[in-house]
Amino acid sequence: MADFNSRRNFIAKSLIALPGICLASGNILNTKEEYKKITILHTNDVHSHIMPLKNGINKGCGGFAQRSSILKKIREKENNVLLFDAGDIFQGTPYFNIYKGELELKLMSLLKYDAATIGNHDFDAGIDGLVKQLPLANFPFISSNYNFSDTAMKDKHLSNKIFQLDGIKIGVFGLGVELNGLVPKKLFGNTEYINPLKIAHKQINLLKKELKCDILICLSHLGYSYKSKKISDLIIAKETSGIDLIIGGHTHTFLNEPTPVKNKSGKITLVNQVGWAGTHLGKVDFYIDYKNQLSYNSSKMRIG
């Protein structure tokens, strides 16, 4: 597990200057040292919001066009960028009612998403409806705790994926929420839900310990936290050891900065989530030095 507990110096001017960015600095490498930088961008619970919001506190924010503009600026500045989504891509506007997810996946492909996990609302056109739209996605859906072997989704998703940028291995796996009682049975069919904590341990052992990933990311649609004992991102972070970043969804939680959680090994796992409707873009920069020590800086960008 990477060590987040050293080196706090960071030069603010090294961050990209974009309107509406709220900076939330973490533990940063001394910039005098040599390091490699990996930039993780993320969205969650976009819910078919193709256009900016027309009312509310985030009126004028969001929309794929404005997100595309910000992504372009970031990619022009940064060399090693990955873009993820934590689920609930579908449902929420007439665009989904009419096109059943076609438009969302086409636009996400144009924005060059690298991967997404599956949210409960992504079953809203049925599992067959989801499968029908998958060829439009030029990126994989990563889901580790749904067993799709007896459904149309069999062999149409990944349990995990390793990305390699500048010699750095970034392992990614996905966790989904319990569907029973949340989604009508006819929509998710014979999809089997497996305890996400059990699967998290399995994926950590494979990706971090066996395959030696330098950074481990969980795309989660479990929810940030609950008053009950229902499993959440904070529980996954606390009860595991090896995850560097949990990119969350489902609870529409707006975090100004990632929540640092002390994990089972006493080190830090970051948990982040950026609300809903695509009004914000999360950004976490990881810095890996010559000793393979990992530090981070984060920011939340308001889209519009």
Dump pLDDT digits (tens) for 21-34: 333 334 444 444 58
User: Would the pLDDT of 5 be above 50?
Assistant: no
Q: What value does the mean pLDDT take over residues 2-26?
A: 34
pLDDT value at residue 33: 58
CB-based contact 118:87 (threshold 8 Å)? yes
Place of tokens 């597990």: 1
Stretch 294-298: mean pLDDT: 93
For range 219-232, the mean pLDDT: 97
15 pLDDT above the threshold of 70: no
- Look up residue 72 and give its two tokens: 């372009």
Among candidates 226, 231, 204, which has minimal Cα distance to 217? 204
- What is the reported pLDDT for 64? 98
pLDDT at 3: 43
Domain extents in the chain: 18-302
Backbone torsion region of residue 277, taken as left when φ is above 0, otherwise alpha when ψ lies between -120 and 50, otherwise beta? left
The phi, psi pair for 187, rounded to 5°, reads -85, -35
In tens, the pLDDT along 85-99 reads 999 999 999 999 999
Tell me the per-residue pLDDT of 117-154, one tens digit each, with 9 for 90 and over.
999 999 999 999 999 999 999 999 999 999 999 999 99
> Regarding the domain with residue range 18-302, which homologous superfamily does it belong to in the CATH classification?
Metallo-dependent phosphatases (3.60.21.10)
